[in-house]
Amino acid sequence: MENAHQRARAIKLVIFDVDGVMTDGSLFFDDDGREYKAFNSLDGHGLKMLKSTGVETAIITGRSSQVVTHRAHNLGIGHVYQGVDNKLEAYLHLLEKLGLSAAQTAYMGDDVIDLPVLIRCGLAISVPAAPAVVKQHAHFTTTLDGGSGAVREACEFIMQAQDTYAKVIAHYLQ
């Protein structure tokens, strides 16, 4: 945990997978093939609080969904890569675009497709339901499940490591 805390201090960008991280991983389709996802409102506010500290947020996901486009827009997530087969390629493009080093980035993923990024980023975050091989490569595994507050927990962990959490919370205590 000490290592994760130290790594979190340098983070300027947090990238999230969607299914299994921002959601519980369930996929819902209606008879016409429209996709539905359930997002946690606590996670959403955690993302907004993190952004208010100057940390940038992004999404890299293997699936493509208008639901994700709407959620990202609602949360002010400006960097969204959907339908990505090679997450490492998207990650490297994002680093170049923003002029960041790997050490300045965190990535939160839950499956083997996330490993190429998890093993290269500065702070690798996963969730309890991830396969063992993914958790073995994570610097921090949340106690809460994907879609049930895991994103909020990760955001608060980074804010606490960067000593910005108290200032964010003070705003609500006035």
C-alpha to C-alpha distance for 107 and 152, rounded to whole angstroms: 14
Domains annotated for the chain, with CATH where assigned, are: 2-172 (3.40.50.1000)
Residue 148's alpha-carbon distances to 12, 22, 81, 144, in angstroms, are 24, 8, 23, 6
Confidence of residue 55 (pLDDT cuts 50, 70, 90): very high
Confidence of residue 1 (pLDDT cuts 50, 70, 90): low
Tell me the whole-structure pTM to 2 decimals.
0.96
- Average pLDDT value for residue range 35-54: 96
17 is in an annotated binding site: yes
User: Pick the residue with more confidence: 2 or 106?
Assistant: 106
110 is in an annotated binding site: yes
Both tokens of 113, joined, read 């497709």
pLDDT digits (tens, 9 = 90+) for 59-115: 999 999 999 999 999 999 989 999 999 999 999 999 999 999 999 999 999 999 999
3-state secondary structure of 118: helix
